[in-house]
Amino acid sequence: MQNNYKKQVEDLLAINKELAQKNDNLEQQNKELKQFSYLASHDLQQPVNNIISYLSILEDSKDKLDDLGNLCLDAVKKSSYKMKSFITSLLEYTIIGSNPKNEEFYINDVINSVKDVLLDKIDKANAEINIYIKEHQLKGYKNDIQLLFLHIIENALIYSKKNSKLIINIKSEVKENNYLYSISDNGIGIDKVHFKKIYDIFYTINRDEEFDGIGIGLAECKKIITLYGGKIWVASELDKGTTFFFTLPRQE
């Protein structure tokens, strides 16, 4: 009996040691990955900034270019800004969760901040935003939650229907130990075939020039929700709008 007990203890110690080693290796790999992404993003920023600067100089001489020259200038300018947006978003995605804060904040402050940031886009889309949320507090990093709401609302603004008033409804309710939020719109909708892929980094549904999304916003939302131990899912139908649902833990 004593020998069996001793053997079990030794086996458990060996397993714990192996798990601890694997955890250390995983932490090191994550650290190296973050460092690589961070440095790569910064190193890539400079040449793109140089290109944009020279394009600004060329724009002052647009009247000296022929139609083909102006067409090429516009194409290079658009591609350069697109690349800069990719790099900036990659850096933003990488640092999510790397500097966690534990602070208390009110949800309506978050939504009002997001509306202020998106004010020009809201006005341009002539969007109506209705908020059906009873004020409550959350605990965590306020910037994470602002980014979460911003990306979903911004997507609704980007993928709205032409010649149709955009209506966005933001709601919340209590579900056991969580707050359940929903952000719905009456935009172009999402085909069900994309439901599982839309949270992948740089995955875009509409790749034409009509929409300017780069496919990282929902990936950031998924990462934030996972960090907080919540869930996110979507309900949508083509040409009838989209609703994103997500949960966040209640403040005790």
For the stretch 14-35, pLDDT in tens is 777 777 776 666 666 666 566 6
**Measured torsion, CA atoms of residues 229, 226, 27, 140, in degrees rounded to the nearest 10:** -60
Are 12 and 88 contained in the same domain?
yes
Are 66 and 130 contained in the same domain?
no
Cβ partners under 8 Å of residue 242, min gap 6: 156, 159, 184, 185, 187, 189, 190, 234, 235, 236
Are 74 and 174 contained in the same domain?
no
Are 84 and 136 contained in the same domain?
no
Take residue 136 and report the two structure tokens written for it: 């409550």
Are 35 and 138 contained in the same domain?
no
Domain that holds residue 11: 2-95
Query: What pLDDT is stored for residue 38 in this prediction?
Result: 63
Are 80 and 108 contained in the same domain?
no
Q: Is residue 246 predicted with pLDDT exceeding 90?
A: yes
Are 37 and 90 contained in the same domain?
yes
Q: Is residue 140 predicted with pLDDT exceeding 60?
A: yes
Query: What pLDDT is stored for residue 156 in this prediction?
Result: 93
Query: What pLDDT is stored for residue 181 in this prediction?
Result: 97
In the chain, pLDDT over 70 holds for what percent of residues?
Answer: 83
Query: What pLDDT is stored for residue 212 in this prediction?
Result: 59
- Could you give the CA distance from residue 222 to residue 39 in angstroms, rounded to a whole number? 23
Are 86 and 117 contained in the same domain?
no
| pLDDT higher at 41 or 209 | 41
Give tens-digit pLDDT for 146-204: 999 999 999 999 988 888 899 999 999 998 889 999 999 999 999 999 998 999 887 77
Q: Is residue 84 predicted with pLDDT exceeding 80?
A: no
Residue at a domain's end among 95, 126, 158: 95
In the chain, pLDDT over 90 holds for what percent of residues?
Answer: 41
Q: What's the mean pLDDT in 199-219?
A: 72
Residue at a domain's end among 66, 95, 124: 95
Give tens-digit pLDDT for 39-81: 666 666 777 778 888 788 878 878 888 888 888 888 888 777 7
Q: Is residue 211 predicted with pLDDT exceeding 60?
A: no
**In degrees rounded to 5, what are phi and psi of residue 206?**
-105, 110
Query: What pLDDT is stored for residue 163 in this prediction?
Result: 81
CATH number of the CATH domain containing 107: 3.30.565.10
Query: What pLDDT is stored for residue 207 in this prediction?
Result: 53
> How buried is residue 228: exposed, middle or buried, by Cβ count under 10 Å (0-12/13-18/19+)?
buried
Are 144 and 204 contained in the same domain?
yes
Domain count, the chain: 2
Query: What pLDDT is stored for residue 24 in this prediction?
Result: 66
Q: Is residue 209 predicted with pLDDT exceeding 60?
A: no
Contact between residue 189 and residue 61 where contact means Cβ atoms under 8 Å apart: no
Are 175 and 110 contained in the same domain?
yes
Query: What pLDDT is stored for residue 238 in this prediction?
Result: 92
Are 82 and 110 contained in the same domain?
no
Confidence of residue 109 (pLDDT cuts 50, 70, 90): very high
Are 27 and 132 contained in the same domain?
no
Summary mean pLDDT of the chain: 83
Residue at a domain's end among 78, 95, 112: 95
